Structure 1
């Protein structure tokens, strides 16, 4: 007997937007609806491929529902699968743990949710499949849940569902940790894992152990192709498995090397080339991009001084490239000076005197402390949105002061060297 099933995880349906309101022109509605659109693609794929069932390994929701609309949307999609005779098996993860979701809706009869109290087994007799799983009762589950899972059910294809950090992953909290050997010891045929948002195959066979990744990136740290895994079963054994793309909005980060650029127009054109290439590779999906402009260049100071002008021209160009379907989330100017600062300091000029003063200021704790005191009232007067975020102003520590002194140095060098004709040599 041959059949297929889909393994998905980390849907994060209706995941809230965080911080997008501070970006003027952000495609808020496109991003807000992305998880729903990707989930609809998942259901479409299940119907199109005529799969026998679908497993969702935790974090169907991103937390407690704001209202019942999130649950109603899920029920509407499950009803589509019910009409096609496709069953769904799900477990709760750290984001939709039983203790977090306060609203409940009766689910269609084709949806089976595993217990959060102990591991359970569901069998599909006509396919000779046994599915084992346990959900999260609370957000923070730190014990190894696998230890309590039952041994394989003989004569069946055994699938284990688990929301876990496995042996630990960067940027993910250490929930339900376990070792590969713990999973192997159960002698299942397939482990359907969830929690890690990057697709990762931990073991290729005997058993297959994998994270499918989330189905839709939600911010720039979740970049690249997102989707689910389609698994083919033949004669009671895993025959093959493959990734299927589901995302409708893709996040990307790329660097633009402007070392040889002599004007801001060249920077914009170099970025255009990169954006056009990326847009084509992503097959016309809506693209949200973070750009890092890098390199030691003659126009470093100009880029700093005309930062707003450059960024807004890049945004305008991006809208043209993608016909409205490319949005620049952030531009980071990370270039460095090409001019020889040390040589400028050695000359007996007013510029050298200013540069020497800056050096002295950075090294003098008393001067920095005085600056902090002088800037205290300014810090209190700044609006919250100006002070918050990784690029916010925080004039309460000397580290930021020294950082800003570098930027002031760049501004002065741009204006002074342009007027006096002093430059690199």
Structure 2
């Protein structure tokens, strides 16, 4: 028997894309609908390739529905597949565990869901395929579910659906942990795994074991291509499997080395070159980019002092590069100064005296505590967004005060030092 099927996971329908700075020109509507549009792409691929069935290895939803629209959207897409006689086999994961979803809709007959109480087997006699799976009853499942899965059904192509952290992956909770040997000993032909959002092949043949990854990146920690895996089966064995991109908005990190850059204009041009390349690789998708500017650089002080000016010029440039389809998610300035402070302090200039005073203050906890007391009223008056942003103001912690004093040094060096005949004065 020969056929084609799709393995997808971690759809997270209607999950908000997080960590995005809002500014004029941001593609708000396209971002809000990103997970739905990616899911439509999944259904399109299934129909275009005339697949025999689709398996979804957990986390179809991102949690309990705010309203019934999320469920109605899923039903509408399943009806498209039902019209093409394409069945869908799915399990629940930690985000759409039975205990989390309080609203339910009757699903089309082509959608087959596995029990959350124990592993069960669904048989497709026409294709000679046996599906084995168990969903999550509650969000936190720490048992090795794979141990209880049944052995293969002889004479059938056997597929296991499992939402698992496997042997553990950074950035993911340890749910339904298992080893590759646990999976191999069942004798299945293919294991469709979910939960890990980065595509990864754990075993490439006899059986094929892989995480298909999520179909749409939701934040900057999920960069690059996202999609599903299309599997070709010939004569009862996996013949090939390949990734198909489904994402409509792609996340990328653009790292710019500023160590050899002398002006902000040159920095923006260097960033432009990287963005042009990333935009071309995105193949027409929206691109959400985090820019990291790094290195010991001559423009460090200017980047600190003129931060808003630099960031908004980078945003303007990105809009131009992508014709409105490149969005700067965030700009992280992580440069350091090239000026030798010890050399400056030895010159006995007014600037040197100020720098020495700041050094002294930084080392005196009592003085810092007095400064915090002076700033108490200012801290209370700060707007919420300034106090709670990732790099927000906080005058209640001496550690953060010390880091702010570093910025004061940069301000002084920018405004009070000049280059005269190659010498700093």
1:68-105 deviation digits (Å, cap 9, x = unpaired): 11101100000000000100000000000111111111
Question: Which residue is equivalent to 2:371?
Answer: 371
Give structure 1 regions of 4+ aligned residues with deviation exceeding 3 angstroms. Answer: 17-26, 418-425
Cα distance change of structure 1 residues 21 and 346 upon mapping to structure 2, 3 Å threshold:
closer
Q: What pairs up with 1:9-408 in 2 under 5 angstroms?
A: 9-20=9-20, 25-408=25-408
1:138 deviates by 0.7
CA distance in 2, matches of 1:390, 1:154: 56
Is the CA contact 1:191–1:210 (under 8 Å) kept in the aligned structure 2?
Answer: yes
1:359-417 deviation digits (Å, cap 9, x = unpaired): 11111111122122222222222222211132122222121111111111001110000
1:31 deviates by 1.2
Q: Give the TM-score taking structure 2 as reference length.
A: 0.97
CA distance in 2, matches of 1:61, 1:116: 16
Q: Give the TM-score taking structure 1 as reference length.
A: 0.97
Q: What count of residue pairs does the alignment treat as equivalent?
A: 425
1:201 deviates by 0.5
Name the SS of the counterpart of 1:171 in structure 2. Answer: coil
1:260 deviates by 2.3
CA distance in 1, matches of 2:298, 2:387: 31
Give RMSD over aligned pairs.
Answer: 1.6
21-30 or 359-368, which deviates more: 21-30
Is the CA contact 1:340–1:424 (under 8 Å) kept in the aligned structure 2?
Answer: no
Name the SS of the counterpart of 2:309 in structure 1. Answer: helix
CA distance in 2, matches of 1:424, 1:283: 48
Name the SS of the counterpart of 1:412 in structure 2. Answer: helix
CA distance in 1, matches of 2:15, 2:263: 41
Is the CA contact 1:162–1:193 (under 8 Å) kept in the aligned structure 2?
Answer: yes
Is the CA contact 2:16–2:218 (under 8 Å) kept in the aligned structure 1?
Answer: no
Cα distance change of structure 1 residues 141 and 24 upon mapping to structure 2, 3 Å threshold:
farther
Is the CA contact 2:13–2:35 (under 8 Å) kept in the aligned structure 1?
Answer: yes
1:23 deviates by 5.1
CA distance in 2, matches of 1:41, 1:19: 24
CA distance in 1, matches of 2:287, 2:277: 12
Is the CA contact 2:12–2:62 (under 8 Å) kept in the aligned structure 1?
Answer: yes
1:228-251 deviation digits (Å, cap 9, x = unpaired): 000111111111111111111000
1:170-216 deviation digits (Å, cap 9, x = unpaired): 01011111111111111111110000000000111121110000000
1:418 deviates by 3.2
Is the CA contact 2:417–2:424 (under 8 Å) kept in the aligned structure 1?
Answer: no
1:259 deviates by 1.9
Q: Which stretches in structure 2 are left out of the alignment for 5+ residues?
A: none
1:15 deviates by 0.2
1:421 deviates by 8.6
CA distance in 1, matches of 2:424, 2:183: 62
CA distance in 1, matches of 2:364, 2:67: 56
Is the CA contact 2:227–2:247 (under 8 Å) kept in the aligned structure 1?
Answer: yes
Name the SS of the counterpart of 2:418 in structure 1. Answer: helix
CA distance in 2, matches of 1:38, 1:423: 57
CA distance in 2, matches of 1:38, 1:26: 19
CA distance in 2, matches of 1:22, 1:399: 29
CA distance in 1, matches of 2:155, 2:5: 19
Is the CA contact 2:418–2:424 (under 8 Å) kept in the aligned structure 1?
Answer: no
CA distance in 2, matches of 1:377, 1:150: 66
